[in-house]
Structure 1
Amino acid sequence: MLEDINGHTRLLAFIADPAEHTLSPRMHNYSFEKYGINYVYLAFQINQTTIEQAVNAIRTLDFRGVNLSMPNKQVVAKYLDRIDPVAELANSVNTIVNDNGFLTGYTTDGRGFMNALRDRQVDYQGKTMTMLGCGGAGMPIAVQAHWMEWKRL
């Protein structure tokens, strides 16, 4: 893989506090190599006091995007150009996409969860959802479920 990194390689990252525990670089870089995608995925230790500088670095270094974890996903929105409506309602941005310096924040937690239900043919429309031990993904899941129900009506 290292011999394939060149001037066209795009950067992606996980920014978190802590970041040492993540297996994301291993998983993503394996996939990029397997499918011949010219990207590299790194992990950076970024906390709430350095998140603004990290967002500026995304633009400056032309990262294609980043993933975030708590507590960064609740404070990053004010440094972005646009926030997806579900991410805004959930007050949670776990993915930033860089389109030529224009940074958009999304939450993929809820969409991923709802897609998993759909893929398993779980009929959730019009149903009551009970969530226990929600953690950082709980609010985005609840907001996404509500958003999908609202859009259906």
Structure 2
Amino acid sequence: MITGKTKVVGVIGDPVEHSLSPVMHNAAFEYYGLDYVYVPFHVKKENLKDAIKGSKALNIKGLNVTIPHKRNVIKYLDWIDDAAKLIGAINTIKFEDDGIKGFNTDGKGAVMALKEVTEIKNKKILILGAGGAARAVAFQLALEGAKNICILNRTVEKAEELAKDINKKTGVKTNSGSLELIEKEIKDTDILIDATPVGMYPNVNQEPLVKAEMMHENLIVNDLVYNPIKTTLLKEAEKAGAKTISGVEMLVYQGAEAFKIWTGMEAPIDVMRQSVLKELK
């Protein structure tokens, strides 16, 4: 029941109809009996500044920020956390009396998902893609003590730029190149992360960038695509006997971090995960 006391949080993006965050967060609020509601707001680029000002004026407690606003929104905030400074993008806002605060929980979400199955410290990590998700995850992995990060991308310049940035800002050895180098680089890789949209709904039968015969059984394979739950890449990884992590995990853990920022409480991870899985099935 929504009343005058109900606290409002939400997500802003363009488009926003596909977002699973409302389902996930409302399930968490319901589980704890919290008087909160999570709403999607469709905000176009030209209305971003007004949306942030309006949210504060309407006493909205917090927002998730998705494509295309993650970078542009920073100029309307009063403070951003260290991870967001390094990444140059935010995905979570908290409206407080002393200002509007920005956080990036994307990288943290990916790392928490990985930590369920492996340590990050001293590992060699291969990341495919060099967009926003790849950037958030790569910086967080560097902060967590990865030994070596390799970024391969279709547009080599983007991979080079990201690798240089990580090297400079964190000191972690980061190299880059084209997707042709996958077979060479994967041989001694501990963790493979696909941060490209390959295999994402509706292109569920798209050929994956890495086939089973390129993988080894000690590899951990994490696809950041969460729809479908089991992508063509994860199916190949299973064939190779590698450990797999679905993109659902990063989605859930980044959401759990946002939940904690807004409420000060630990999120009910299982409840959030089940609500997402139910929606995807």
TM-score (normalizing by structure 2): 0.49
Between 63-72 and 124-133, the greater mean CA deviation after superposition: 124-133
Query: Hey, what does 1:128 align to over in structure 2?
Result: 124
Query: Hey, what does 2:77 align to over in structure 1?
Result: 80
What is the 5 A alignment of 1:54-73? 54-73=51-70
Q: Post-superposition shift, 1:61? A: 1.1
Report 1 or 2 for greater relative contact order, CA contacts < 8 Å, sequence distance ≥ 6: 1
Confirm or deny: 8 A CA contact 2:120 2:144 kept in the other structure.
Answer: no
Confirm or deny: 8 A CA contact 1:70 1:136 kept in the other structure.
Answer: no
Structure 1 unmatched runs, 5+:
none
Distance between the aligned counterparts of 2:92 and 2:105, measured in 1? 7
Distance between the aligned counterparts of 2:125 and 2:88, measured in 1? 20
Distance between the aligned counterparts of 1:101 and 1:50, measured in 2? 24
The two structures, once aligned, show a CA RMSD in angstroms of 1.6
Distance between the aligned counterparts of 1:123 and 1:25, measured in 2? 31
Distance between the aligned counterparts of 1:102 and 1:85, measured in 2? 17
Distance between the aligned counterparts of 1:113 and 1:39, measured in 2? 26
SS in 2 for 1:129: strand
Percent identity between matched residues is 38
> Quick one: which of 114, 136, 143 aligns to 1:140?
136
Confirm or deny: 8 A CA contact 1:19 1:44 kept in the other structure.
Answer: yes
> Quick one: which of 99, 104, 114 aligns to 1:102?
99
TM-score (normalizing by structure 1): 0.87
Q: Post-superposition shift, 1:9? A: 0.6
Q: Post-superposition shift, 1:137? A: 1.5
> Quick one: which of 18, 21, 24 aligns to 2:18?
21
**C-alpha deviations, 1:114-137, integer Å up to 9, x for none?**
1112222x1221222211135432
Distance between the aligned counterparts of 2:137 and 2:79, measured in 1? 20
Distance between the aligned counterparts of 2:124 and 2:44, measured in 1? 36
Amino acid in structure 2 at the alignment position of 1:19? V
Q: Post-superposition shift, 1:92? A: 1.1
Structure 2 unmatched runs, 5+:
146-169, 171-281
Report the count of equivalent residues. Answer: 146
Confirm or deny: 8 A CA contact 2:29 2:36 kept in the other structure.
Answer: yes
Q: Post-superposition shift, 1:99? A: 1.8
Distance between the aligned counterparts of 1:129 and 1:71, measured in 2? 27
Confirm or deny: 8 A CA contact 1:15 1:44 kept in the other structure.
Answer: yes
Distance between the aligned counterparts of 1:74 and 1:13, measured in 2? 18
- Compare CA radii of gyration and give the structure with the larger one: 2
